[in-house]
């Protein structure tokens, strides 16, 4: 059973009352301990004190410096604000938010040659955002490569290092 399926089962049993309180308490304590067991977070988040535009420029430069190609810049903050208004759902989630899709032909080819399912990693995505009420902070985020993949694959270690390097490059501006 995947962690996601386990969480869904726990949530269902909690809402239907079929999960005893003692079991729920044990599970809650286990989830407090799990991070210490080396389970990686699904996202790597970096923080910069630079403004949004500076971090975006830093990200684009960090990508280009590595010989990578930017496919697209998605203006997700604008889209979410627009759809939120259309749906009548809440206020702004971000002050600004954009995601950069980029590619490495070499890494992508090596990654997919090793496991065709890794196509899901193409393109690589780096998201940059600022939050309302948090002036002076810009966040950079990317998906972490699962630990089991970096442990067993040199190319996935390369991918993880590249993503980290691009994010740190963006954050350092």
**pLDDT at position 25, please?**
55
**pLDDT at position 143, please?**
97
**pLDDT at position 35, please?**
46
CB 101 within 8 A of CB 71: yes
The token duo for 165 is 């390097």
Q: Is 29 left (phi over 0), alpha (psi -120 to 50) or beta?
A: alpha
**pLDDT at position 40, please?**
72
Give the pLDDT confidence of 16-73 residue by residue, as tens digits.
666 665 655 555 545 554 444 456 799 999 999 999 999 999 999 999 999 999 999 9
The values of phi and psi at residue 98, to 5°, are: -140, 150
List, in order of start, the domains of the chain with CATH numbers.
3-37 (no CATH), 43-171 (3.30.310.70)
CB 111 within 8 A of CB 159: yes
Please name the residues in contact with 114: beta carbons below 8 A apart, sequence gap of 6 or more: 153, 155
Would you call 141 helix, strand, or coil by DSSP? strand
Give the pLDDT confidence of 97-130 residue by residue, as tens digits.
999 999 999 999 999 999 999 999 999 999 999 9
Give the pLDDT confidence of 154-166 residue by residue, as tens digits.
999 999 999 999 9
* Residue 15 clears pLDDT 90, i.e. is over it: no
Q: How far apart are CA 45 and CA 140, in angstroms?
A: 6
CB 140 within 8 A of CB 126: yes
Q: How far apart are CA 118 and CA 157, in angstroms?
A: 13
DSSP characters over 91-132:
S-S-SEEEEEEEE-HHHHHHHHHH-GGGGGGPSEEEEEEE-T
Give the pLDDT confidence of 1-12 residue by residue, as tens digits.
555 555 666 656
Catalogue the E-assigned strands of 7-74. Answer: 43-48, 69-74
**pLDDT at position 90, please?**
82
**pLDDT at position 33, please?**
47
């Amino acid at each position: 059973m995947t962690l996601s399926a386990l969480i869904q089962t726990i949530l269902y049993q909690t809402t239907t009352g079929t999960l005893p309180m003692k079991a729920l308490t044990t599970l809650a304590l286990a989830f407090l301990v799990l991070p210490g067991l080396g389970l990686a977070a699904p996202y790597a988040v970096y923080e910069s004190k630079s403004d949004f535009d500076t971090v975006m420029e830093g990200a684009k430069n960090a990508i280009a410096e590595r010989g990578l190609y930017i496919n697209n810049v998605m203006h997700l903050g604008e889209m979410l604000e627009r759809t939120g208004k259309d749906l009548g759902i809440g206020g702004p989630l971000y002050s600004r938010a954009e995601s950069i899709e980029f590619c490495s032909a070499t890494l992508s080819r090596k990654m997919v040659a090793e496991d065709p399912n890794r196509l899901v990693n193409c393109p690589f995505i780096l998201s940059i955002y600022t939050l309302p009420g948090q002036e002076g902070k810009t966040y950079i985020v990317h998906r972490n490569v699962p630990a089991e993949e970096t442990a067993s694959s040199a190319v996935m270690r390369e991918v993880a290092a590249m993503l980290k390097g691009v994010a740190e490059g963006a954050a350092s501006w």
